[in-house]
């Protein structure tokens, strides 16, 4: 990645705008460039109202201080009391992560009032991370990038914005904690179905006079000796070599799920 500068003359003054650009090599051998982040103008204008600022934490005073940003080759105005010159050629973007999809998943969690529901079902004890937060992480992961708990633990969490949204560090994605969370929620399945049915009614005026029943299946790796429901049979996933379980699902005509059962 690199920083690209574009210059424009406006009202007789020179303005420079900055963009973080990423280069990618295509299969044809050519290099394509993609705009990653638009920074805009970094105080090329001397007008105080146009100055971009950055809040910097002052450890000595234990507070945030706003600093005006100026390019290193531009003079700092005399009236800029708190300012810093930025070495633009040394700027780089680190740990870029998608935020919007994770935010939307967390917002759906709140709209369905699952935060309230699970706070009552999974009260906080002596654990360092609340179980509802672990479950929210699992649900958002299933919504965005369905995979195993181990994949969430090893790769997905570090490449997501869930640490920011949950205000938690990597402890929330600890492998054993993810598995233990699933064990804790199973007993509350009937209450969850009742809760979701009420939310569908409140949010979408859903009616339940007509319901649809469907079957699907998923296969498991290994012998699954401790799962008596896992059996060989016709595989919709084209994996006749693996045992599978059949899942029954009840939904509304609009596709809103109401209940499921592993057959």
Report pLDDT for 25: 72
Report pLDDT for 113: 96
The residue from 38, 69, 90 where one domain ends is 90
Rounded CA-CA distance 257/83 in Å is 55
Q: Where are the alpha helices (DSSP H) in the chain?
A: 100-111, 114-121, 131-144, 149-151, 162-166, 175-185, 189-204
Pick the more confident residue, 61 or 231.
231
Rounded CA-CA distance 136/6 in Å is 43
Report pLDDT for 14: 78
- Residue-number span of the structural domain to which 178 is assigned: 100-189
Structural domain contains residue 198? no
Report pLDDT for 201: 93
**Are 212 and 146 members of one domain?**
no
Report pLDDT for 131: 95
Report pLDDT for 199: 94
For 230, left (φ over 0), alpha (ψ -120 to 50), or beta? beta
Task: Report the residue count for the chain.
Answer: 263
Rounded CA-CA distance 212/250 in Å is 6
**Are 85 and 105 members of one domain?**
no
**Are 43 and 118 members of one domain?**
no
Structural domain contains residue 171? yes
- Please determine, for residue 78, whether its predicted confidence score (pLDDT) is greater than 90: no
Structural domain contains residue 95? no
**Are 118 and 158 members of one domain?**
yes
> 42-46, 77-81, 174-178, 190-194: which range is least confident on average?
42-46
The residue from 42, 57, 90 where one domain ends is 90
**Are 120 and 164 members of one domain?**
yes
Helix (H/G/I), strand (E/B), else coil: 12: coil
Structural domain contains residue 195? no
Report pLDDT for 47: 45
What average pLDDT does range 183-189 have in this prediction? 92
pTM above 0.85, yes or no: no
Report pLDDT for 232: 92
What average pLDDT does range 110-132 have in this prediction? 91
**Are 10 and 56 members of one domain?**
yes
Report pLDDT for 46: 46
Q: Note the pLDDT tens digit of each residue in 97-118.
A: 889 999 999 999 999 999 999 9
The residue from 90, 125, 141 where one domain ends is 90
Please report, rounded to a whole number, the percentage of residues in the chain having pLDDT higher than 90.
Answer: 43
**In whole numbers, what is the pLDDT of the chain averaged over residues?**
83
Structural domain contains residue 107? yes
Structural domain contains residue 201? no
Structural domain contains residue 197? no
pLDDT band of residue 121 (cuts 50, 70, 90) is very high
pLDDT band of residue 194 (cuts 50, 70, 90) is very high
**Are 110 and 175 members of one domain?**
yes
Rounded CA-CA distance 70/86 in Å is 6
**Are 19 and 48 members of one domain?**
yes
Structural domain contains residue 223? yes
How does DSSP classify residue 190? H
pLDDT band of residue 242 (cuts 50, 70, 90) is very high
Q: Note the pLDDT tens digit of each residue in 15-74.
A: 777 777 777 776 677 777 777 777 777 655 544 444 555 566 666 767 776 766 666 766
**Are 166 and 104 members of one domain?**
yes
Domain count, the chain: 3
In the block, tokens 């990597």 appear at 170
């Amino acid at each position: 990645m690199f920083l690209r500068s574009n210059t424009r003359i406006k009202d007789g003054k020179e303005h420079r705008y900055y963009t973080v650009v990423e280069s990618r090599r295509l299969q044809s051998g050519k290099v394509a460039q993609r705009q990653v982040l638009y920074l805009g103008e970094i105080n090329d204008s001397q007008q105080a109202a146009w100055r971009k600022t950055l809040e910097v934490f002052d450890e000595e005073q234990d507070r945030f201080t706003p600093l005006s940003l100026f390019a290193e080759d531009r003079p700092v105005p005399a009236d800029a009391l708190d300012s810093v010159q930025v070495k633009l050629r040394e700027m780089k973007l680190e740990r870029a992560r998608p935020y919007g999809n994770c935010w939307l998943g967390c917002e759906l969690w709140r709209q369905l009032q699952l935060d309230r529901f699970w706070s009552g079902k999974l009260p906080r004890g002596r654990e360092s991370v609340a179980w509802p937060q672990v479950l929210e992480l699992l649900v958002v992961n299933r919504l965005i990038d369905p995979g195993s708990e181990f994949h969430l633990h090893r790769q997905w969490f570090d490449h997501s914005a869930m640490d920011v949204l949950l205000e938690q560090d990597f402890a929330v994605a600890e492998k054993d904690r993810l598995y233990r969370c699933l064990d804790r929620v199973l007993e509350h399945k009937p209450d969850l179905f009742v809760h979701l049915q009420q939310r569908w009614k409140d949010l979408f005026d859903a009616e339940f006079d007509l319901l649809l029943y469907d079957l699907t299946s998923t296969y498991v790796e290994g012998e699954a000796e401790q799962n008596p429901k896992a059996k060989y049979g016709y595989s919709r996933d084209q994996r006749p070599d693996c045992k599978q379980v059949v899942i029954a699902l009840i939904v509304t005509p609009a596709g809103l799920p109401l209940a499921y059962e592993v057959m």
